[in-house]
Structure 1
């Protein structure tokens, strides 16, 4: 089994203890592909780059640009030095058998022209020059320079991979997507066990020698680490779900597949491969050793019909879209479409409800007006460059004199952020949001203005930074235009007026999420829940007994972020429904490592629409119909 690990700029302590993690992998008898990047994408905010990189003069990411190459080389060298100092490369007796430089660069290479090709050459030479003693790879990079190995990412690399670009390079599959990342407003992507097994087997039959699952184990985007619109739960449909529980039949079916492949791995590595037709859309692959070892793969590419084929004077029935493996070229021991692992079901067990008003306290966040801001500009500032990714929130405030003839104009705000909430004279007017596939949206509401001076405050919200594409450093977020319109065509354009800015919420500045009482924080009894906006809620709870994963059911909340004992369990966005009218995610993982024996403090900030009285603390388990998988064992690999 080989773990593929992406590195990040903070890889030295706590949950980011990269060295400690790799040592634990070695202790479990497994290997590592260390994917240094430093650009990783991975649905990680800003593709894994720290935002301070944006402010380096003259920088252009991921091209033949001297400032970027300087910091990229520094980071790569630091990670390699961390590994070599601990003897973690295979050349030193350690578990790291591969390293990766860059990530899926071919997706954007054309945008940089000649400079893109020069950058690929430089990155390869720089990485190889670090003398790790193990091969370097570039995924999705057909022109990876020797000796760097080009590899495949995707769901069907047995079909789509054009192969190594040199005869002395192996066929490697860096990311076999067991599902796909999910964004707010979207349904989960369900990839079947049969489909995964088919394409893994096809890749092996066509001389593939390495398959890394992405993801094999789901996870959680704690804090603000998720990229734009990406939900907090990550690859929950993996063979091991977000909580580490088996997702059957996916886990069991792949375990059986890899057990079979491992049983004949010597022949697959040493035998001579041959390919032949078995029918119009049927084919076979045979690996034959001189000493007699023989492995056959019989493939049916017909999605609708099963067929009977003849192979070595025997008849074999092949299920639709399937591959049969014959480890001795005679007997079928595995068919990719024949799933005999029973499905399991997730069980949610409520442990504590927070339905009593008495268990909650609340803190009303501050709505700033123009006079409360020190940063001013005569035009809209770009949001990411203003917040420096220190907060999801940026206040745009303006003071103006009402000289419109209509009594109730329409406020129209165009935004390239993700969410906007409008307040006029401290009164909430309404909110709007975009989605993952549309880069801007419009907020429009009728507003009632005072005669004379009025204060307008727009809270612009990001739900993660962009994580992919060329010229990431040039991306724009935040408000684009704003005007007040009367029905007769009369309007007041406020876009290029004098605006005041405030980064973040007051509660963030006061670190309300730590649950401590400090100056400026006045926790009160729960108010009128239906009319509240920008409210912090606080309560306590006891740790559920046992070892089952712990989750918070936040299906009664609106949008915001949650903390347990001062540690963020991620963003939630219940109000953003999928096409079936349900939240994309309602259960939020609380790792037991975050919990104390008793007196755990839960703090949430809700932008609008949240009802904390509906929150519950639950545990998660799965049914196990035939076998007891309580002691988890990983499948073998070839």
Structure 2
């Protein structure tokens, strides 16, 4: 576990510096014309930070200063850290951070959601987890309606963990329920419904960039979040029905508008509803799996028990990469710690 430990920090600084320099050499940062607009130093360290008390706090400050010293000329972030040193941006991850994110630790920092979970990744022995397209679109519209700037996904594109490349307890298929499945195919309606919500949000950009936020109560569980550009016609409204069971009718600027249960309607001009998170117009699709006769020919399951070695027969005074150490034949290696 990372803490304010000099040997650990020595190797971490060396590693992070190496990565940043390689990215610079390939001109991958945005100021160089590349695609990288954000960089992250540490991730969710807050889950163990308190266990190390002041050592955990000082480590966060050190990691932030290290990132800034590398001069990547892009914004640096830390996910789920309230005490990030300026100007590093603290971000969030989860499912509904339009309502639960406590926000950046300084008012001059943008509100960034770096992990919107499209589904929970699958773990051995757990039942399959799903997240509806409606719930995903609701979370996105909610976040942008309440000063959100960026939504990033974990994961938008699924994949396959071949061989021993998977993590502990994690199945071979990874995020197959994402908008793009492990084969790169669109998972409808999730992919199409997300595309529709971003089309609607794109129509709102002028009011969201330069407008002033006001919130109006339309009913017991209903509200309007309105962005109005002062002295201009740009106006966008998000009408939310936070009742989880019942649809409701609301009156907004003289219009009677029906809001399905737990939904948000987007009005880019404060007049016309162009999108509702609960109303899916994307065509659904399904997949069929056909058993491969070729791949299953003479196919048998085999199990064996591997005994961890007691001694490897050699030692090193510097850290070694595990695959090289074990010749990529096992995941087990005895690594004594010198304290």
Could you state the TM-score of these two structures normalised by the residue count of structure 2?
Answer: 0.88
CA offsets, 1:394-431, max 9 Å, x none? 6xxxxxxxxxxxxxxxxxxxxxxxxxxxxxxxxxxxxx
Gaps of 5+ in 2: 313-321
Which of 30, 37, 48 in structure 2 is aligned with 1:90?
Answer: 30
Is 1:231 equivalent to 2:171 in the alignment? yes
Of 86, 93, 111, the residue aligned with 2:51 is: 111
User: How far apart are 1:366 and its partner, in Å?
Assistant: 9.7
Whole-Å separation in 1 of the counterparts to 2:330 and 2:211: 56
**1:175-574 alignment to 2 at 5 Å?**
175-290=115-230, 291-353=232-294, 375=311, 390-392=328-330
CA distance in 2, matches of 1:308, 1:356: 60
5+ residue gaps in structure 1?
1-60, 377-384, 395-461, 463-472, 475-638
1:174 aligned to 2:114? Answer: yes
Q: Distance in 1 between matches of 2:270 and 2:31?
A: 37
Q: CA RMSD in A?
A: 2.7
The CA deviation at 1:342 is 2.2
Once residues 237 and 355 of structure 1 are traced to their aligned partners in structure 2, the CA distance between those partners, rounded to angstroms, is 25
Q: 1:375 to 1:102 in 2, by over 3 A?
A: closer
Aligned to 2:62, the other structure's residue is in SS state helix
Q: Distance in 2 between matches of 1:137 and 1:97?
A: 11
Q: Separation in 2 of the partners of 1:155 and 1:314?
A: 32
CA drift at 1:141 = 0.6
What is the alpha-carbon distance in structure 1 between the residues aligned to residue 297 and residue 7 of structure 2? 56
Structure-to-structure mapping, 1:592-631, within 5 angstroms: none
**Partner SS for 1:184:** coil
CA offset digits 1:266-298 (Å, max 9, x no partner): 221111111121111111111111321110000
> Equivalents in 2 of 1:182, 1:367: separation in Å?
25
Once residues 188 and 11 of structure 2 are traced to their aligned partners in structure 1, the CA distance between those partners, rounded to angstroms, is: 44
Alignment of 1:101 with 2:48, yes or no, is no
Going from structure 1 to structure 2, the CA distance change for 1:374 and 1:204 (only over 3 Å counts) comes to closer
- Matched residue, 2:16: 76
1:393–1:330 Cα change, 3 Å: closer
CA distance in 1, matches of 2:306, 2:186: 48
Give 1:527's aligned residue: none
Change (3 A) 1:329 1:228: same
1:156 alignment counterpart? 96
Higher strand share: 1
CA distance in 2 between counterparts of 1:201 and 1:367 reads: 50
Shift of 1:113: 0.6
- Residue 129 of structure 1 corresponds to which residue in structure 2? 69
How big is the shift at 1:314?
Answer: 1.3
Deviations 1:53-93 (A, max 9, x none): xxxxxxxx311011111111111111110111122111222
Change (3 A) 1:154 1:368: closer
Structure 2 SS opposite 1:199: helix
Aligned residues between the structures: 321
* Compared CA separation, residues 367 and 235, structure 1 to 2 (3 A): closer
Q: CA deviation at 1:225?
A: 2.1
Q: 1:131 to 1:352 in 2, by over 3 A?
A: same
Structure 2 CA distance for aligned equivalents of residues 339 and 184 of structure 1: 32
Q: Matched residues in 2 for 1:285 and 1:368: separation?
A: 59
Cα distance in 1 for residues equivalent to 2:279 and 2:311: 64
What is the SS of the residue equivalent to 1:247? coil
Distance 1:243 1:318 in 2: 36
